Amino acid sequence: MKSKIMLIGGFLGAGKTTMLSALASVLEHRNYRYGLITNDQAAGLVDTAFLTAMGNETREVSGSCFCCNFPGFESALAELRMGGCNVILAEPVGSCTDLSATILQPLKEQYTNMYEIAPLAVLADPMRLQALCSGEHMELHESSIYIMKKQMEEADILVINKCDLLSEEKRLELQKTASLKFPRAKVLLASAEKGEGLEQLADELLSDESAGKTLACVDYNIYAEGEAVLGWLNLVTQIKSDRETDWSDFLEVYMKDLKRMFVEKAAAVGHLKLLLSGKDENSWLLGNLVGNDRNISLRGKAPVCREVILTVNARVQMMPEQLADSVISLLEAAEVQNSVKITHEILRQECLSPGRPEPTYHYEEVL
């Protein structure tokens, strides 16, 4: 029996991980056995920790994007397929594009006996999509915006995620505008966090409609620059306090300090994601920031204890070493309410700027 592969792409902060988790719940209710694959330029990924904490069968391909480490992607697919998964949801790196040429076409040609390929779904943050369609100023580097645009150009399904942030009138207006801007894609409205539009999206992904119908014309020099301007930090640290602590206070204050620091340094935030987890698997708190002018979002149940693990994934327009130093220095200075003191021990730290994309395969025509 063939397994269905669903590739859920989109730029940093579009809500891909939340969407994977939400779609997994829909598939489970439909009696599918599913598996998830995350992807990043470095290990220590919030996405993997979060999805695993939610009870999902998850594999991680780290150190490179799917397209530049196709064998690693193949291995993760094979593990889940051999484990009995008949649907596999995969989330590529948020700064990755040209997926149709480098992932979907190779899968279609080489694995027709093992897999069915779902239409390529690309998620869009509604505020960034509005700015892109209207030509409004965005803080992101123009080459990073180029990547975002190319992601949408190659989409079979363009999903305006987080549509709950817009009024009914505004979301329908944006859907119409996006349909005109990206006419080759079917444009859907959804909110992974609120559970809106998920059944329709699942229906589209489970359909037999052909996948990878469009190849984006990507200038790899601009693509490489768009990735390289972002500092990439994955940090895992163990934090201890001198008493029982409600860690929601700590995370909120820490994220506000980080946001303030990025604004002061005029360092555009691609995506800042933090996960606090305690020993109880049901105690976790996830924080997100998508852009310097956006509000911090927190969800989950914060652990109340003396010791937690904090995982930080930061994608910011700063030199990687400067980004790491800034994030760690603010952590060292952090205090919880009532002057509760904390200490921390770094368990894993990787900071980098992504290198030039060198895909394993690159197809020049749609199969």
Mean pLDDT of 103-116: 95
Mean pLDDT of 41-62: 87
Query: pLDDT value at position 271?
Result: 97
Segment of 189-203, 244-258, 281-295 carrying the highest mean pLDDT? 189-203
Q: Are residues 214 and 251 in the same domain?
A: no
Angle (CA) 55-57-59 rounded to 5° is 130
* Residue 155 in tokens: 């989409």
Q: Are residues 204 and 236 in the same domain?
A: no
CATH number for the domain spanning 76: value is 3.40.50.300
**pLDDT of residue 137 exceeding 90:** no
Mean pLDDT of 232-261: 92
CATH number for the domain spanning 322: value is 3.30.70
Q: How confident is the model at residue 352 (pLDDT cuts 50, 70, 90)?
A: very high
Range of the domain at 152: 3-226
Query: pLDDT value at position 189?
Result: 98
Q: How confident is the model at residue 43 (pLDDT cuts 50, 70, 90)?
A: confident
Q: How far apart are CA 357 and CA 367, in angstroms?
A: 23
Domain finish residue from 210, 226, 242: 226
**pLDDT of residue 211 exceeding 70:** yes
Query: pLDDT value at position 242?
Result: 86
Q: Are residues 216 and 260 in the same domain?
A: no
Smallest CA-to-CA distance from 153 within 162, 165, 145, 163 is with 145
Smallest CA-to-CA distance from 307 within 287, 346, 277 is with 277
Q: Are residues 321 and 195 in the same domain?
A: no
Q: Are residues 330 and 214 in the same domain?
A: no
Q: For the whole model, what pTM was predicted?
A: 0.94
Mean pLDDT of 70-76: 97
In a domain, 215, yes or no: yes
Query: pLDDT value at position 41?
Result: 86
In a domain, 30, yes or no: yes
Q: Are residues 31 and 155 in the same domain?
A: yes
In a domain, 367, yes or no: no
Angle (CA) 195-149-110 rounded to 5° is 80
Q: Are residues 187 and 285 in the same domain?
A: no
Q: Are residues 182 and 151 in the same domain?
A: yes
Mean pLDDT of 349-366: 95
Domain finish residue from 160, 194, 226: 226
In a domain, 362, yes or no: no
Query: pLDDT value at position 42?
Result: 81
Query: pLDDT value at position 205?
Result: 97
First to last CA, the chain: 22
In a domain, 288, yes or no: yes
Q: Are residues 62 and 198 in the same domain?
A: yes
Tell me the per-residue pLDDT of 227-242, one tens digit each, with 9 for 90 and over.
Answer: 999 999 999 999 998 8
**pLDDT of residue 311 exceeding 90:** yes
Tell me the per-residue pLDDT of 327-338, one tens digit each, with 9 for 90 and over.
Answer: 999 988 776 554
Q: Are residues 255 and 169 in the same domain?
A: no
Mean pLDDT of 288-300: 94
Q: How far apart are CA 139 and CA 292, in angstroms?
A: 8
Who wins on pLDDT, 173 or 43? 173
Q: Are residues 222 and 236 in the same domain?
A: no
Q: How confident is the model at residue 66 (pLDDT cuts 50, 70, 90)?
A: very high
Who wins on pLDDT, 333 or 66? 66
Q: How confident is the model at residue 339 (pLDDT cuts 50, 70, 90)?
A: low
Q: Are residues 124 and 201 in the same domain?
A: yes
Split into its structural domains, the chain has a count of 2
Q: How confident is the model at residue 32 (pLDDT cuts 50, 70, 90)?
A: very high
**pLDDT of residue 17 exceeding 60:** yes
Query: pLDDT value at position 9?
Result: 97
Domain finish residue from 188, 204, 226: 226
In a domain, 145, yes or no: yes
Mean pLDDT of 39-56: 86
**pLDDT of residue 133 exceeding 70:** yes
What is the helix (H) or strand (E) element at residue 62, kind and residue range? strand 58-62
Round the average pLDDT of the chain to a whole number and report it: 94
In a domain, 357, yes or no: no
